[in-house]
Amino acid sequence: MQKKIIFFLPNFSQGGAAQSIVKILVYLSNKKNKCELICLKKCFYKKTLLRNGVKVLEIKSSRTLYSMYRIRNYLLKTSNFYKIYFVSNINYANILSLIFLKKIPKIKIITVERTPLQELNYNYGSMILFFKNFLLKSLIKLLYFKSDLRIGNSIRVSKDFALFSKTKFITIYPQSIKMISKKNISYTKKNLIRIIWVGRLDKEKSFKTLVDALNFNFNKKIEVSVLGPGNKNLYIKRNYINKNVIFKFYGYQKNLEKFFLKSDIYIHTALYEGFPNSVIQAMNYGIPVISSNSEGGIKEITSKGKYATLFKTKNHNELRKILTNYLYSNKTFVKKALLAKKNLQTFNFESVLDQYRKKLQSL
């Protein structure tokens, strides 16, 4: 019986998780596997997937829970002709997949974690989110042993989930880069410093930390390129007093290379993130990284600060001091950037996509 690989991610909009899944599906499809994607509402990368032979099923539903009945019926029909490898991504989708789909004949369920377990400790003052997170953590403990394979996108994510759910996890990094770049930034003293920041403008990315850190009279002009979707008006107010800092909002950009190449420094402010692709990309272009010491993969990427300068999450005063030190002398930052680029080879990004193929074949 033929095999069919189906990836499931409810929200398939712009972002690192969706980009990683697209790369995997395109690779597997090009290796003569039958591949599909299931998501809710519109898939931002639909044209790319269809062009590479990946079928896309967009379910018109506002909630993942409401979509499960249709997904189950679709998989029941599909299982008459194929052995199904169902790859669910992100905790709440994983739990619902195990509840509704596990008993379907000829199906293997693979659950993938792309954000740290500590994400479920944040409720941003919402009691609804507090109880939702409490329920999710309880169900993770109760159900995760039922999945046929559990994957984390960083060693830290895998270890935390394995310990919490008392199950075995393997780690497969996302393919943040295809190969190590030969290009390097030339560092000279400048009157204008260009900062790059990448991510969605939402609470978990903590863009406000950067805005607050820069609201200070530095002795140089600073230009900040902000790449990602979201409402900039929530962060930059009309009474922003620092005229030496210019924010330029570009929204989502498919190709970040030109932005990295003209930037002097990359700043990452997230509260938590499984394996931030943009940090790897910055390191690949030889750009010094200043990052929040966030939950997830940042510690292994930076070797706890050996390859980047870390600050406490949400601490804009500490970030401001680091930026002041950079403006005074960037030698230490440049040395870390050079070490970071050399260290990228240890992640072996070239084999990432084939790791998925081999693990699925072994089930």
- The helix/strand/coil state of 189 is coil
Helices (H), 144-231: 155-165, 207-214
| For range 299-308, the mean pLDDT | 95
Q: Mean pLDDT across the chain, nearest whole number?
A: 93
Q: How confident is the model at residue 241, as a pLDDT?
A: 58
φ/ψ of 187, rounded to 5, equals: -100, 120
Contact 37, 56 (CB under 8 A): yes
pLDDT digits (tens, 9 = 90+) for 106-152: 999 999 999 999 999 999 999 999 999 999 999 999 999 999 999 99
| For range 187-194, the mean pLDDT | 78
Residue with tokens 């979707």: 229
Q: What percent of the chain has pLDDT over 90?
A: 82
d(CA 129, CA 343): 38
Contact 43, 37 (CB under 8 A): yes
Q: Hey, what amino acid is at 355?
A: Q
Tokens of 106: 């000829």
φ/ψ of 338, rounded to 5, equals: -65, -40
Tokens of 167: 């199950």
Q: Could you tell me how many residues make up the chain?
A: 363
Q: Could you confirm whether domain 192-346 is CATH 3.40.50.2000?
A: yes
For residue 300, give the H/E element and its range: helix 298-302
Sign of CA dihedral 304, 308, 314, 320: positive
CATH 3.40.50.2000 segments of the chain: 2-172, 192-346
d(CA 21, CA 27): 10
d(CA 344, CA 349): 8
Q: How confident is the model at residue 189, as a pLDDT?
A: 63
Q: How confident is the model at residue 187, as a pLDDT?
A: 62
Q: Is the pLDDT of residue 220 over 90?
A: no
d(CA 161, CA 298): 16
Q: What percent of the chain has pLDDT over 70?
A: 96
For residue 197, give the H/E element and its range: strand 192-198
Neighbouring CB atoms inside 10 A of 55's CB total 15
Q: Is the pLDDT of residue 184 over 80?
A: no
Contact 308, 150 (CB under 8 A): no
Contact 276, 298 (CB under 8 A): yes
Q: Which pLDDT band holds residue 26 (cuts at 50, 70, 90)?
A: very high
Q: Give CATH for domain 2-172.
A: 3.40.50.2000
Rounded to two decimals, the pTM is 0.93
